[in-house]
Amino acid sequence: SERTDPGEVLSVKKLITNQLEECIEEYKKLPLEIEDKGAILTLVDTSTLNKEINEFGSFLEFDQLEPLLYSIDSGLAIPLATVKKERKFKVALSAGIDKAASYLKGSFIKSDRRKKEGRVVIVNDNKTAIVSCTPQSIGGYELSVTIRGHHIKGSPYQLSVKASRDYTTLTNQRSFNVGSSTYGVAVHTNGEVFASSWDGFVQVFSEDGTAVRRIGSKGKGNGKFGRPWGLLLVGDRLYVSDYNLNRVQYFSATTGQYIGQFGSKGNGNGQFSKPEGMSTDGKGNILVADYSNKRVQVFKEDGTFVQVIQCDGTASDVAVDNEGKIHVTICGQNHVQVFSPD
């Protein structure tokens, strides 16, 4: 075989040695520990994992369970309940997180916190959580609804529980002489009784039936009436519907001072044709039975128009129950039409 020249071998050895020395010097310049600012990126194919998860359920991000995305919807202007009668509340859920209702927990205790009464039942029904409880005695109660240990909006909710009333045996204690054609009546929390008269005023009585003052007089100006009909008390504000003047006026119930009005004759939004009974939904809305227009109109407490609820006949009166259902008496057809709050 051909022999290699020793000089060539030494030359190659020197070249390799120089290259190794250069590599060692470069290596010494490198950090021997991971720096804080360094980042390690790992790419993982999660498609298989996601497929397996989706087959048995789904996860909700934590921010979707934010307590303030839920709120107690009482459905009452005055938070009342009756002994040994079920009281239901709705818990409003933000769109897309109705499955998280399973995380809701509730408690129902006396306000003095001495005694826990009544079992709280939470049912997830058609994307709405229904919270129900049944108080066992009179007094103040506190309903708490939490999610992962945190109170939702409106919780804790204060509730006043009163004794059940027995209407099977009623006695005629007294009568009030109001005037011509009395249609509307309302009772203030201070015990005063308000009654409308087609003579053009609202008469106010004390609890013992003594006439104490009048609100309004016959006429067409502010604070005057054509034929006052329906009466509604919301806090200290008295709403009066006017059958002839096709409007609703509102006053201070205690002073009788005129505050404002809304409505005019017609069939458009916010217009009336013989308005009669009124009610509140407990959430800042006023409902007015618009008789000849065969509908109920909904307004904010300041008179801002909200919506129309069309009825199947002349609407003479309206009431809202604890669940938010709207009940309308249909004059001439001898029935009550019921609308869902949804």
In the CATH scheme, what is the homologous superfamily, with its name and number, of domain 185-339?
A: TolB, C-terminal domain (2.120.10.30)
pLDDT of 75 > 70? The answer is no
Give the residue with greater pLDDT, 96 vs 253: 253
- For the chain, residues classed under CATH 2.60.40.10 are 65-162
CA distance readout (Å), 193 to 64, 110, 260: 48, 32, 22
Q: Read off the pLDDT of residues 255-287 as tens digits, 9 standing for 90 and up.
A: 999 999 999 999 999 999 999 999 998 888 999
List, for residues 125-174, the tens digit of each pLDDT value.
656 677 788 888 888 888 888 877 888 877 888 888 888 777 777 777 77
Q: How far, in Å, CA of 119 to CA of 131, rounded?
A: 10
* pLDDT band of 64, cuts 50, 70, 90: very low
**CATH 2.120.10.30 domain residues, the chain:** 185-339
> DSSP assignment, residue 99?
G
Q: For the residues 72-82, what does the mean pLDDT come to?
A: 62
Q: How far apart are the first and last CA of the chain?
A: 101
**pLDDT above 70: percentage of residues in the chain:** 74
Cβ–Cβ < 8 Å for 297, 305: yes
77 has pLDDT over 60:
no
> CA torsion angle for 314, 316, 320, 321 (degrees, to 10)?
-100
Determine the pLDDT at residue 99: 60
Q: How far apart are CA 24 and CA 9, in angstroms?
A: 23
CA distances (Å), origin 266, targets 66, 245, 250, 254, 271: 46, 11, 20, 32, 5
- Distance (Å, whole) CA 260 – CA 252: 10
Give the pLDDT band (50/70/90) at residue 70: low
Q: Which residue has the higher pLDDT, 123 or 298?
A: 298
Q: What is the mean pLDDT of residues 177-187?
A: 83
CATH of 65-162, one of 3.10.580.10, 3.30.70.260, 3.30.565.10, 2.60.40.10: 2.60.40.10
The mean per-residue pLDDT over the stretch 295-305 comes to 97
